[in-house]
Structure 1
Amino acid sequence: MAAPAQTDVRWDLTPFYTSVTDPAYAKTLAELPDLLTKIEAHLDSLSPSLTAEQLKNFLAEFEQTFLTYRLISSYTSLVVSADANDNDAQKALSSLQAIATRAEKFSRRFESFIGTLDPKLWENAPELKDDKFPLSRIHSSAKHLLSPELEAHTADLEEFGSTAWERLYDDFSSNIQVELNGNSVPISAIRGMAYDTNAETRATAFSAELAAWKANEIPLAAAMNSIKGEASHLAAQRGWPEQLDVTLHYCNMDRASLEAMLEAAKDSFPDWRRYLKAKAKLLGHTNGLPFHDLFAPIGADTSWTWQQAETFVEEGFRAYSDKLGDFAKLSYDENWHDAFPRPGKRDGAFCAGVTPGISRMLHNFKESVNGAMTLAHELGHAYHNLCLESRTGIQRRTPMTLAETASIFCETIIKRKAISESTGDAKLAILEASLQGSCQVTVDITSRFLFESAVIEKRKERALTPEEFCDLMRQAQLDTYGDGLDPEKLHPYMWAAKPHYYSTFAFYNFPYMFGLLFALGLYRIYQESPDGFHERYDSLLSRTGMAMAADLTQEFGIDITQKSFWAGSLAVLRDDIDEFCNLVG
Structure 2
Amino acid sequence: MNQNTYDRWDLSILYSGFDDPALKADIDDMARAIEEGKQLAALAGSIPHKDLLHRYIDNNERVSTLADKLFIFANLRYATDTSDMEATAMTGKLQAMLSETAAPDTVLKQAISRMEDLDELIESDAALKDYAFFLREIREESKYLLSENEEKVFALMNISGASAWEDLHDTLTSTVNVKYRGEDITLSAVRNLAYDGDPAVRKDAYEAELACYPQIEQPAAFALNSIKLQVLNECRLRGFASPLDQALFNSRMSRKTLDALISAMNDYMPKFREYLKAKGRALGHADGLPWCDMFAPLGSLDRKYTVEEAKAYLLNIFGSFDTELHDMVKRAFEENWIDFFPRKGKVGGAFDCGVPSAKQSRVLTNFDGAFGDIVTLAHELGHAFHDRQVFSHSIIQQDYSMPVAETASTFNEVLVVSEAIDRAETREEKLALIESQLSDACQIICDIYSRYLFETSVFEARDEEFLSPERMCELMHNAQLASYGDGITEATLHPYMWLCKGHYYSGSLSFYNFPYAFGGLLARGLYALYKKQGAEFVPLYKALLHATSVNNVEDTAAMAGIDLTDKAFWCEGLNSLADEIDMFVSLIEN
Q: Could you say whether these structures have the same fold, taking a TM-score greater than 0.5 normalized by the shorter chain as the test? A: yes
Distance 1:54 1:107, change over 3 A: closer
Match of 2:200 in 1: 200
Match of 1:433 in 2: 436
- Which of 497, 502, 516 lines up with 1:499 in the alignment? 502
- Which of 85, 94, 116 lines up with 1:87 in the alignment? 85
Per-residue Cα deviation, 1:465-505 (whole angstroms, up to 9, x for no partner): 10010000000000011000000000000000100000012
Q: Which amino acid aligns with 1:271?
A: K
- Which of 471, 485, 488 lines up with 1:485 in the alignment? 488
Give 1:404-443 correspondences, 5 Å limit.
404-422=406-424, 423-443=426-446
Q: Which amino acid aligns with 1:204?
A: D
8 Å Cα contact 2:53/2:112 also seen in 1: no
Give 1:354-365 correspondences, 5 Å limit.
354-356=355-357, 357-365=359-367
Per-residue Cα deviation, 1:378-399 (whole angstroms, up to 9, x for no partner): 1111111111112123322211
Matched, 1:235 2:222: no
8 Å Cα contact 1:105/1:155 also seen in 2: no
Per-residue Cα deviation, 1:215-270 (whole angstroms, up to 9, x for no partner): 21000000000000000011011111111111111111100110101111111111
Match of 1:125 in 2: 124
Per-residue Cα deviation, 1:72-111 (whole angstroms, up to 9, x for no partner): 1011000000011223323322332312323455544443
Give 1:12-411 correspondences, 5 Å limit.
12-47=10-45, 50-52=48-50, 54-118=52-116, 119-127=118-126, 128-300=128-300, 301-356=302-357, 357-411=359-413
- Following superposition, the deviation at residue 135 of structure 1 comes to 1.8
Matched, 1:533 2:537: yes
> How many angstroms apart in 2 are the aligned matches of 1:53 and 1:110?
12
Helix, strand or coil at the partner of 1:320 = coil
> How many angstroms apart in 2 are the aligned matches of 1:409 and 1:67?
29
Distance 1:380 1:108, change over 3 A: farther
8 Å Cα contact 1:408/1:515 also seen in 2: yes
Structure 1 residues 363-372 or 188-197, which shifts more? 363-372
Give 1:569-584 correspondences, 5 Å limit.
569-584=573-588
Distance 1:95 1:562, change over 3 A: same
> How many angstroms apart in 2 are the aligned matches of 1:173 and 1:351?
19
Q: CA RMSD in A?
A: 1.7
> How many angstroms apart in 2 are the aligned matches of 1:535 and 1:344?
41
Distance 1:138 1:54, change over 3 A: closer
> How many angstroms apart in 2 are the aligned matches of 1:245 and 1:48?
36
Residue identity (%):
37
- Following superposition, the deviation at residue 509 of structure 1 comes to 0.5
8 Å Cα contact 1:134/1:545 also seen in 2: no
Q: Which amino acid aligns with 1:120?
A: D
- Following superposition, the deviation at residue 304 of structure 1 comes to 2.0
Distance 1:399 1:325, change over 3 A: same
Q: Which amino acid aligns with 2:360?
A: I
Distance 1:321 1:253, change over 3 A: same
Match of 2:456 in 1: 453
Distance 1:149 1:415, change over 3 A: same
Helix, strand or coil at the partner of 2:396 = coil
Distance 1:182 1:262, change over 3 A: same
Helix, strand or coil at the partner of 2:236 = helix
8 Å Cα contact 2:56/2:108 also seen in 1: no
> How many angstroms apart in 1 are the aligned matches of 2:71 and 2:84?
16
Helix, strand or coil at the partner of 2:560 = coil
> How many angstroms apart in 2 are the aligned matches of 1:157 and 1:64?
25
> How many angstroms apart in 2 are the aligned matches of 1:523 and 1:328?
20
Q: Which amino acid aligns with 2:584?
A: F
- Following superposition, the deviation at residue 571 of structure 1 comes to 1.1
- Following superposition, the deviation at residue 116 of structure 1 comes to 2.5
- Following superposition, the deviation at residue 54 of structure 1 comes to 4.3
> How many angstroms apart in 1 are the aligned matches of 2:298 and 2:102?
48
- Which of 452, 462, 469 lines up with 1:466 in the alignment? 469
> How many angstroms apart in 2 are the aligned matches of 1:90 and 1:152?
22
Distance 1:238 1:159, change over 3 A: same
Match of 1:564 in 2: 568
> How many angstroms apart in 2 are the aligned matches of 1:194 and 1:388?
36
8 Å Cα contact 1:101/1:156 also seen in 2: yes
Per-residue Cα deviation, 1:337-364 (whole angstroms, up to 9, x for no partner): 0011100000011111122521101001
- Following superposition, the deviation at residue 530 of structure 1 comes to 2.5
8 Å Cα contact 2:403/2:518 also seen in 1: yes
> How many angstroms apart in 2 are the aligned matches of 1:113 and 1:191?
50
Distance 1:111 1:67, change over 3 A: same
Q: Which amino acid aligns with 1:507?
A: F
- Following superposition, the deviation at residue 366 of structure 1 comes to 3.5
> How many angstroms apart in 2 are the aligned matches of 1:530 and 1:14?
39
> How many angstroms apart in 2 are the aligned matches of 1:395 and 1:91?
29
Q: Which amino acid aligns with 2:266?
A: K
- Following superposition, the deviation at residue 306 of structure 1 comes to 2.1
Matched, 1:444 2:442: no
Per-residue Cα deviation, 1:427-448 (whole angstroms, up to 9, x for no partner): 1111111110011001110100
8 Å Cα contact 2:563/2:569 also seen in 1: yes
Unaligned ranges ≥5, structure 1: 1-5
Per-residue Cα deviation, 1:31-80 (whole angstroms, up to 9, x for no partner): 32122112322233233773435413431332122111100101100000
> How many angstroms apart in 2 are the aligned matches of 1:355 and 1:548?
22
Q: Which amino acid aligns with 1:36?
A: I
Helix, strand or coil at the partner of 1:351 = strand
8 Å Cα contact 1:441/1:512 also seen in 2: yes
Structure 1 residues 447-456 or 549-558, which shifts more? 549-558
> How many angstroms apart in 1 are the aligned matches of 2:498 and 2:24?
38
Q: Which amino acid aligns with 2:258?
A: L
- Following superposition, the deviation at residue 332 of structure 1 comes to 1.0
> How many angstroms apart in 1 are the aligned matches of 2:265 and 2:254?
17
8 Å Cα contact 2:49/2:115 also seen in 1: no
8 Å Cα contact 1:122/1:135 also seen in 2: no
> How many angstroms apart in 2 are the aligned matches of 1:477 and 1:274?
16
Q: Which amino acid aligns with 1:517?
A: L
Match of 1:3 in 2: none
TM-score by structure 2 length?
Answer: 0.95
Per-residue Cα deviation, 1:1-41 (whole angstroms, up to 9, x for no partner): xxxxx975210111211112223223322332122112322
- Following superposition, the deviation at residue 305 of structure 1 comes to 2.1
Q: Which amino acid aligns with 1:124?
A: E
